[in-house]
Amino acid sequence: MTAEVKILVEGCTNADSVEETGEEKTRPTITLVRDKNLVMVVDPGVLENQKVLVDALAKENLAVKDVNFVFITHSHIDHYRNAGMFPDAKIIEYFGIWEKLTVKNWAEDFTENIKIIHTPGHDVSAISLLVKTDNGVVAICGDVFWKENYPQNPHDDAFASNPERLRESREAVLKMADFVIPGHGPMYKNDRNAVRTEEEQPKPAVKVTVTCKKCGRQMIQHDKCQCRPYLCFRCCECGMDCDACSCSHKK
């Protein structure tokens, strides 16, 4: 018997065109995974209001209290803002499985039908689910991809902490998945046998600018805090004891 995957709330983002629109709006794709007695919500992030998610669960004959696991693909707040809606659920994130005040390591083979893999690059804390369903393996991978095959070049992900590791994570996901649920869009089919065109081949790094969310400065890749790529190194909020931080410290 395999697991079931259903998109509860389809995500969206205009982060790729915010310079034209002038206002960034984003919502993650929120997914339901069911496997025997497991009822899991993936990435309960920012929403217009929590009723959107409550109503989506109701359409699946579920209430908030029925959810026993919440899975966070990575530690960007747009993906986990509403995790507190499920106070009795265990939380799975990069550092472990949290239950009340306790935490323990997660196993890669989480169930017979669910595998958890580390997929860094967009964020150092990124993890993805590979779920075996009747129709094939579904990868629920957060912002490994924002939308279908987008950004095509990992260096065009302005929020990526490490574009080369992101490329490796994408290749790992695409080797194993028949379908992909990206961070901010609908599920799409992955052709594992597809041959890359010349345009899809890895490209050299390009200078991508993004605005620091705190001070408003324009940043290129080496100006960003590795842990909080939406901040520049001057506005870094990491402590001196952060092993991952690239700000050394605030230069």
DSSP 8-state secondary structure symbol assigned to residue 66: G
- Give rounded-to-5 percent helix, strand, coil for the chain: 20, 25, 55
Identify the bridge partners of residue 102 per DSSP, sorted by sequence position. Answer: 99
Res 22: pLDDT: 63
Entry field: residues in the chain: 251
**Burial grade of 16 (CB within 10 A; 0-12, 13-18, 19 or more):** middle
Res 112: pLDDT: 98
Give the domains, in start order, of the chain with CATH numbers: 4-190 (3.60.15.10), 209-251 (no CATH)
> Do 71 and 44 form a contact (C-beta atoms < 8 A)?
no
Res 212: pLDDT: 82
| 20: confidence class by pLDDT, cuts 50, 70, 90 | low
Q: What is the pLDDT of residues 182-237, one digit of tens each?
A: 999 999 999 877 655 444 444 444 444 577 888 877 776 667 787 777 788 888 88
Give residue 118's identity as a one-letter amino acid code: H
More confident residue, 6 or 15: 6
Q: Does position 23 have pLDDT exceeding 70, yes or no?
A: yes
Interval 27-55 mean pLDDT = 98
Q: Which of 124, 155, 154 is nearest to 244 (CA)?
A: 124
d(CA 123, CA 79): 12
CA 14, distance to chain mean position in Å, is: 16
Task: Report residue 174: phi and psi, to 5°.
Answer: -70, -20
Q: What is the pLDDT of residues 80-127, one digit of tens each?
A: 999 999 999 999 999 999 999 999 999 999 999 999 999 999 999 999
Give the H or E element holding residue 167. Answer: helix 163-176
